[in-house]
Amino acid sequence: MTETVSEMAAPAADGVLRRPSLVGRTRAGLGDALAEIGVPEKERRMRVGQLWNWIYHYGVREFDAMTTIGKGLRAQLAERFSLDLPEVTAEQVSTDGTRKWLLRMPSTGPHDRGAEIECVYIPEVDRGTLCVSSQVGCTLTCTFCHTGTQRLVRNLKTEEIVAQLMVARERLGDFPNRKAPDGAFVPNDGGRFVSNIVFMGMGEPLYNFDGVRDAIDVISDDQGLSLGRRRITVSTSGVVPQIGPLGEEMGTMLAISLHAVRDDLRNELVPLNKKYPIKDLLEA
């Protein structure tokens, strides 16, 4: 697993100094954050477990709410870090309960206003599915996809992928002791609003393999967000060399954006087919 290294607070595009958020980080990333503020190594595993539970199970937004952690450590964490989520710059709600969010990621410096990506929540009778993005833009030029008309800006970091689920749960009241918004589609079984994840948003997930893999590790951890890997689907346009590793390292469901069963037509619709034709795709 790749470790998430904490970033020092830097001036954003508006000149405001912001503390880096702990939301979305892996266990290793939380351990790194604790090391930065001087938590002894022998104590870190316990503290990571506490942070993990408060952030991912309860969805707390303030360190003061972490009552199992001493006041001194809470103060140290609050001075150095935040529990901020990406900014929701737009929300669209359909009559059937579908919700689309435009999210702005934190600025990485004075010349970056923050990358914008979309995620979509789709409620159904037996499930609630969140469609998440893995890249800002895309290198592929599939003719049916609007993202294919945009240039690739960068891969999303692990924490930015996880943060999409955190935003959805926050907006839907999908954490313990939270209230759902008026008009929200309530699951029949009284369970979670978000029960499934699909990597079908902006970008090609298998071109951000490490970020997607580590995000799935966070999302599927049974002591936090606790979404089973069989409820997570990674969709690919057909990046053949990464399909085997996806099965070995992620263990999720797989979806292929096929769109045609003839190479000549698929070459037009999904130009990646010229590199990885249908025969190779089926074998993978």
- The CATH number covering residue 169 comes to 3.20.20.70
Q: How far, in Å, CA of 275 to CA of 238, rounded? A: 9
Asked if residue 208 and residue 170 are part of one domain, the reply reads yes
Asked if residue 93 and residue 189 are part of one domain, the reply reads yes
pLDDT of residue 3: 40
Asked if residue 237 and residue 130 are part of one domain, the reply reads yes
Q: Specify the range with the lowest mean pLDDT, choosing from 132-146, 170-184, 209-223.
A: 132-146
Asked if residue 154 and residue 95 are part of one domain, the reply reads yes
Asked if residue 161 and residue 54 are part of one domain, the reply reads no
Asked if residue 246 and residue 116 are part of one domain, the reply reads yes
Asked if residue 78 and residue 137 are part of one domain, the reply reads no
Asked if residue 110 and residue 79 are part of one domain, the reply reads no
Asked if residue 243 and residue 117 are part of one domain, the reply reads yes
Structural domain ending residue among the three candidates 53, 84, 115? 84
Among the listed residues 119, 128, 124, 121, the one whose alpha carbon sits nearest the alpha carbon of residue 195: 128
- Provide the residue range defining the domain that includes 149: 87-283
Q: Is the pLDDT of residue 17 over 70?
A: no
Structural domain ending residue among the three candidates 38, 58, 84? 84
CATH number assigned to the domain comprising residue 18: 1.10.150.530
Q: Is the pLDDT of residue 5 over 90?
A: no
Q: Is the pLDDT of residue 131 over 90?
A: yes
Spell out a b/e string for 239-264, using b for 16 or more CB atoms within 10 Å of the CB, else e: bbebbeebeebbebeeeebeeeeeee
Asked if residue 217 and residue 97 are part of one domain, the reply reads yes
Among the listed residues 71, 31, 25, 65, the one whose alpha carbon sits nearest the alpha carbon of residue 48: 31
| Structural domain count of the chain | 2
Asked if residue 210 and residue 105 are part of one domain, the reply reads yes
pLDDT of residue 92: 95
Q: Answer yes or no: are the C-beta atoms of 250 and 212 closer than 8 Å.
A: yes
